Amino acid sequence: MSEGLVLMSGKEADRLGVVRDAAEGRVRQRQAAERLGLGVRQVKRLVRRYRERGAAGLTSGRRGRRSNNAIAAEVRGRAMDLVRERYADFGPTFAREKLVEVHGFRLSAETLRKWMLEDGLRRAKPRRGAPVRQRRPRRPCFGELVQVDGSEHAWFEDRGPRCSLIVFIDDATSRLLALRFVPAETTEAYMEVLRGHLDGHGRPVAVYSDKHGVFRVNHREREGELTQFGRALRTLDIEPIHAGSPQAKGRVERANGTLQDRLVKEMRLRGIDGMEAGNAFLPEFMEDHNRRFAVEPLCPADAHRPVLHDAAELGLILSLHSTRKVSRSLTLRYRGREHQIQVRGQGYGLRGARVTVCEGFDGRVAILRDGRPLAFRVLAEGEPPVSVEDEKSVRHAVDRAKARQQARPNWKPAPDHPWRRAARVGAERAAAGP
């Protein structure tokens, strides 16, 4: 810096012109005080310093010196040692939370961010222009709109199997309503999480989801048909809404990104390595997450409605429904099994009737006609049909088949298996000749 050059901030430079005018008598000191928003006594001090030292008299005397509030070098060293050892891939905000809550440090996220940049643990991100997108305002009441989604991810990193996390989040408050680790996104998984939400909160006004096959029939010739999950929502008087793009349900999409960062690292710190332990930890995580990130709704009312069905009825609603036609002998087939309807008298009224078969996820079956259960017994059992999988559940289906095959490597069909019976009959006919 050349001699006579004074380094000043913008505020000090603006102050210089007014103080100079006051010192040279062009304005009164009271007028200068009003323009600067200072007291007259303070302006007198500034005028005196200007006359003694010139423009340098108006600059801060602490410029270039260490701040009185600066954190000691040994504190910085201890903090960064912990970050390198345990939180190297954490963001500054998350790492700062751990340093404060677990290790008792007192520092800001911005201070830690600067330290991590200086030590090469982070790279400065280039500033990007904000996307031009009109955001949909939040719903005013808690429970009006519940956004649901599933996120397949390596939640346990290399400590456990890859799985999916079912997420229910409230649109009005960004409050996590339900989390559950499941092997894959299936109708069963979503119905189980919905059952927990109904038990804990009641019925929301609407459920907002994507167009995954669990929520919507994506076949042009079957437009308007309901999936099993959609049928359950309609029965419970919950409106199903399908988003046209991931950005449309951005609340739950952003929550997934946060969970893939924070939840993964929280479980790493606790050594959680499987879905059972993970599901046991999720209530604690949800409580802490909602305390940090949930917002107050615009309207204090809770829009959830009470559930109008008892536990048994709710179990039937949240099951797989199929329609069957009763034969003249009052039987029907379902999943390879022959079911005999048991009635008093001849039962003529049931011949040709359409009934609903309800299969719970525990394997129990109920047969309903006009909402009333019918007594039945199983006459014969056959091979169960092959299940239909989609792109999100096929990975779990293959893993399940692989485990079953490895458990019985030398498996052979039973002696009375239809395939063996057919081969035996063919051999007997060939031996008998024409």
Tell me, yes or no, whether 65 lies in a domain: no
Tokens (6 digits) for 159:
């400590």
Q: Which helix (H) or strand (E) holds 292?
A: helix 275-293
Q: Give the predicted TM-score (pTM) of the model.
A: 0.74
374 and 236 within one domain? no
Note the pLDDT of residue 3. Answer: 45
Residue 123 in any domain: the answer is no
| Rg, the chain, Cα only | 35
Tokens of 311: 């536990």
> Between 289 and 402, where is the model more confident?
289
Tell me how long the chain is: 434
Q: Are residues 263 and 401 in the same domain?
A: no
Q: How confident is the model at residue 132 (pLDDT cuts 50, 70, 90)?
A: low
| Number of compact structural domains in the chain | 5
Does residue 423 lie in a domain region?
A: yes
- Tell whether 359 and 419 lie within a shared domain: no
For the segment 153-176, the average pLDDT, to the nearest whole number, is 95
Same domain assignment for residues 145 and 245: yes
Task: Look at residue 124 and tell me if it is in a domain.
Answer: no
Statement to judge: residues 240 and 346 lie in one domain = no
Tell whether 77 and 195 lie within a shared domain: no
Q: Is the pLDDT at 130 greater than 60, yes or no? A: no
Out of 270, 302, 334, a domain closes at 302
CA distance linking residue 22 with residue 42, whole number of Å: 12
Selected residue with higher pLDDT from 85 and 22 = 85
- Mark whether 81 and 53 lie in a shared domain: no
How far is 306 from 199, CA to CA, in rounded Å?
Answer: 9
Average pLDDT over residues 118-131: 78
Note whether 106 and 161 are same-domain residues. no
Q: Which domain holds residue 46?
A: 10-58
One domain for residues 284 and 151: yes
The pLDDT, as a whole number, for residue 398 is 76
Mean pLDDT of all residues in the chain?
A: 86
pLDDT at 2: 40
Domain boundary among 338, 357, 381: 381
Distance CA 333, CA 356 (A): 12
Clarify whether residues 220 and 155 are in a common domain. Answer: yes
